[in-house]
């Protein structure tokens, strides 16, 4: 647990430094990027490189969704729905083709990073997609990278801690379980005698 707290402190200090020494574009997405990057580093599923690659896939897929909206799709609910469908389909396809080596959840985090940081900017001025998307993408990736670096080395530690917690809980459950004996007769119901007394019926 001490190592978890240390990683959290490093993440907090990095995020604070980003806010203090960066421009307004990066300041606005510092917390979002650091939080998503920190979660990406902490989850002990696949290697850090595979998690980062999955994140990149989702991020690029979300960027392509905005590119389609700016170039071809109507600026309406139908256009946004098509873009969302394409983004999620790309994330799912990559996860499936890689047979889970690039986990779907990390791709979804990448898509969420781009969408969460850029949606308001795109809605305000869709015509400036090329310049504004590049600025936002750079900012959110820097923040997410800082969060990922602060926590990525703790993934194995988190998994070990969870295994130790499960091992400590198993004896508690084992004490509450009654042993099962093969071919054993069912136990009598509580409150009833073990055998039923013989009660002959009188002859008619």
The tokens 């990390």 sit on which residue?
106
Token code pair at residue 191: 């409150």
25 neighbors 131 (Cβ within 8 angstroms): no
| Percentage of the residues of the chain whose pLDDT score is greater than 70 | 74
Token code pair at residue 79: 């256009």
Asked if pLDDT for residue 58 goes beyond 50, the answer is yes
pLDDT at 91: 96
pLDDT digits (tens, 9 = 90+) for 138-180: 999 999 998 898 887 665 566 666 677 677 777 655 555 555 5
pLDDT at 204: 47
Asked if pLDDT for residue 184 goes beyond 80, the answer is no
If DSSP codes are grouped into helix, strand and coil, which group holds residue 187?
coil
40 neighbors 144 (Cβ within 8 angstroms): yes
pLDDT at 62: 97
Residue 53 banded pLDDT, cuts 50, 70, 90: very high
What's the mean per-residue pLDDT of the chain? 82
């Amino acid at each position: 647990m001490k190592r978890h707290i240390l990683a959290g402190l490093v993440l907090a200090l990095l995020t604070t430094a980003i806010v203090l020494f960066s421009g307004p574009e990066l300041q606005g997405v510092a917390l979002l990027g650091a939080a998503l990057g920190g979660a990406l580093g902490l989850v002990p599923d696949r290697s850090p490189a595979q998690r980062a690659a999955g994140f990149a896939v989702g991020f690029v897929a979300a960027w392509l969704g905005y590119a389609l909206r700016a170039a071809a799709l109507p600026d309406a609910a139908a256009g946004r729905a098509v873009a969302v469908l394409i983004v999620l389909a790309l994330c799912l396809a990559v996860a499936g083709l890689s047979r889970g080596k690039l986990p779907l959840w990390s791709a979804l985090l990448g898509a969420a990073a781009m969408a969460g940081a850029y949606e308001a900017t795109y809605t305000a001025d869709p015509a400036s997609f090329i310049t504004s998307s590049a600025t936002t993408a750079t900012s959110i990736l820097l923040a997410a990278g800082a969060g990922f670096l602060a926590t990525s080395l703790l993934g194995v530690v988190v998994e070990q801690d969870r295994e130790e917690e499960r091992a400590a809980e198993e004896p508690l459950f084992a004490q509450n379980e009654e042993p099962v004996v093969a071919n054993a007769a069912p136990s009598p119901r509580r409150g009833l005698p073990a055998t039923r007394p013989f009660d002959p019926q009188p002859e008619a």
